[in-house]
Amino acid sequence: MNKKIHYKKEIIPKLSIIIPCYNEEKDIQKCLQSLEEQSFNDFEIIIVDDGSTDRTKEIVRKIKEVKLIEGKHKGPGVSRNLGAKMAKGEILIFVDADMNFDKNYIKYLIDPIVDIEKDEIIGTTHELEIVENINNIWSRCWGKIRVSKENSKDVKIFRAIKKCKFFELGCFEPKYGYADDQTFWFKYKIKPLVAKNTICYHKNPENLKEVYKQSRWIGASINNIFLELPIIKYFFPILLLILFPIIIPFLSIKKIIVLKDYKILHWMFIFIIYRYLGTIAGIFNRIYFNKNFR
C-alpha cells in the first residue's frame, strides 16, 4: 500500500510554473496544452520571453490564463530569475518550452516538497526524461533518453523548489549559461531529490544548424579548470582544433557504443563533427568575448 501524503496545510501551497522562451513558436502550444491536462492544475503559468524574434509572444498573448513577461535576450537564467520575482506561488517549477509532461507530472514533482514528514526537502527533479522526436536522425544521434531512472540521482537541475529557498540561495547564476539551473550544485553542492514516477518528454535538435548552436551554447557553459587559467585558456580552442582528426572518430565510435545503435554510424560522424566544432566555437566565445547565451 502506498504511503499517504500528509500536507503542511489544508490546501497544497500555491505553485508557479516558470517557462523561459526564446523563439519557441513550434513548441510552446504543445507545452502549455500538456500543462493544462495535468491531474493537478491549480497553478499559475509565467512565460518569460527572452527576446524572441519569431511568433512566440504572439501565440502566448492569445492565451488568457498565462502571464507573459517580455525581456531582452540575456539567456534563460535571467528569464527564470525574473519569472521567480513575479511569481505568487510558494513553490517554483522550472520547465522548458519544448517539454511536455505525463498527466501526473506536477503532482508527483511537488509531493516530496509538501510532505510534512520531509520538511528538509527544498526541491526536486524528475525521474525520467524521454526524447520525443527520436525519429529525426540528428535527434537519434543525440540519444533517446535524457534522464534515466538509473542516472536521475546524479541530476543537478532543480525542476521544483521552495520559493523562499530559491531566493535564500541567491537565485540562478546567468553566467553558467546552458547550465544556469545547476547553480546550486556549482555554488553549494546541493542536489535536488528525485521525485518518483515523474515522466516528461523533451526534444533534441532536429537539424545540423540546431546541433551546432546547441553545442556552441553548451561549450560556452563548460565548467572546466583549464578555461579559468590565465593565458593557457586562450590556447585551449586551438588545441581542440589540432586534436580534431583524432577526437572525431573516437567520440563517434564511443557514442555509437553507448547508444548501441550501430546502423547510424555514418550519420554519427557528421553529427559529432558539428557538435565538436560547435563546442569549440562556444569555448572561443566565452574566452575571447565573454559571451554565454543561446
Condensed to tens digits (0 to 9), the pLDDT of residues 113-130 reads 998 666 789 999 999 999
Position 1 in a domain: no
pLDDT greater than 70 at residue 7: no
Instruction: Identify the pLDDT of residue 56.
Output: 97
pLDDT at 120: 85
Residues 84 and 191 occupy one common structural domain: yes
Considering the domain boundaries, does residue 139 fall inside one? no
Both 190 and 225 in a single domain?
no
Q: Residue 77 and residue 181: Cα distance in Å, rounded? A: 7
Is residue 3 in a domain?
A: no
Q: How far apart are CA 177 and CA 183, in angstroms?
A: 10
The neighbouring-strand residues paired with 68 are 47
Q: Which of 129, 183, 125 is nearest to 158 (CA)?
A: 125
Residue 79 lies in a domain: yes
- Give a yes or no: residue 137 inside a domain: no
E strand residue ranges, 4-104: 15-21, 43-50, 66-71, 91-94, 99-101
Average pLDDT score over residue span 83-96: 97
Q: Of 219, 235, 222, which is closest to residue 275 (Cα–Cα)?
A: 219
Q: CA 9 → CA 6, 30, 113, 121, distances in Å?
A: 9, 32, 12, 16
CA dist 284 → 175, 216, 221, 287 (Å): 15, 9, 11, 5
Reported as type and span, the H/E element at residue 193 is: strand 193-194
User: In terms of domains, do 161 and 244 share one?
Assistant: no
Is residue 198 over pLDDT 70?
yes
Name the more confident of 104 and 41: 104
Same domain for 263 and 121: no
- Give residue 257's identity as a one-letter amino acid code: I
* Higher-confidence position of 198 and 232: 198
What are the cell numbers at 103?
498527466
- Is there a single domain that holds both residue 181 and residue 87? yes
Q: Has residue 66 been placed in a domain?
A: yes
Residue 265 lies in domain? 208-289
- pLDDT > 90 fraction of the chain, expressed in percent and rounded: 85
Task: Provide the residue count of the chain.
Answer: 294
Structural contact between residues 160 and 189, judged by C-beta atoms closer than 8 angstroms: no
87 and 225 housed in the same domain: no
Shared-domain flag, residues 159 and 267: no
Predicted local confidence at residue 116, as pLDDT: 64
Distance CA 141, CA 269 (A): 10
Q: Positive or negative CA dihedral for 161, 131, 214, 286?
A: positive
**pLDDT exceeds 70 at position 10:** no
- SS3 call for 41: coil
Tally of structural domains, the chain: 2
CATH number at residue 90: 3.90.550.10
Same domain, residue pair 156 and 76? yes
Position 64 scores a pLDDT of 83
In degrees and rounded to multiples of 5, residue 283 shows phi and psi of -60, -40
Domain membership flag for residue 133: no
Query: Does residue 6 belong to any structural domain of this protein?
Result: no
pLDDT band, very low/low/confident/very high, at 69 (cuts 50, 70, 90): very high
| Burial zone of 292 (CB within 10 Å; 0-12 exposed, 13-18 middle, 19+ buried) | buried
Last residue of a domain, one of 162, 197, 232: 197
pLDDT exceeds 60 at position 6:
no
Specify whether the CB–CB gap between 186 and 223 falls below 8 A.
Answer: yes
Same structural domain, 41 and 107: yes
Torsion from C-alpha of 50, 51, 55, 56, nearest 10 degrees? 10
Question: What is the per-residue pLDDT for 223?
Answer: 79
Structure confidence at residue 166 (pLDDT): 98
pLDDT of residue 237: 93
Q: What is the mean pLDDT of residues 53-77?
A: 94
Looking at the fold, whether 73 and 188 belong to one and the same domain comes out as yes
pLDDT-based confidence at 11, cuts 50/70/90?
A: low
pLDDT computed for residue 2 by the predictor: 37
- pLDDT 10s digits, 208-261: 999 999 999 999 998 777 788 888 889 999 999 999 999 999 999 999 999 999
Integer angstrom CA distances of residue 126 from 85, 149, 184, 240: 24, 9, 17, 34
Average per-residue pLDDT for the chain: 92
Cβ contacts of 191 within 8 Å, gap of 6 or more: 155, 156, 185
Query: Based on the domain organization, do 116 and 188 belong to the same domain?
Result: yes
**Same domain, yes or no: 69 and 181:** yes
Q: What is the pLDDT of residues 154-190, one digit of tens each?
A: 999 999 999 999 999 999 999 999 999 999 999 999 9
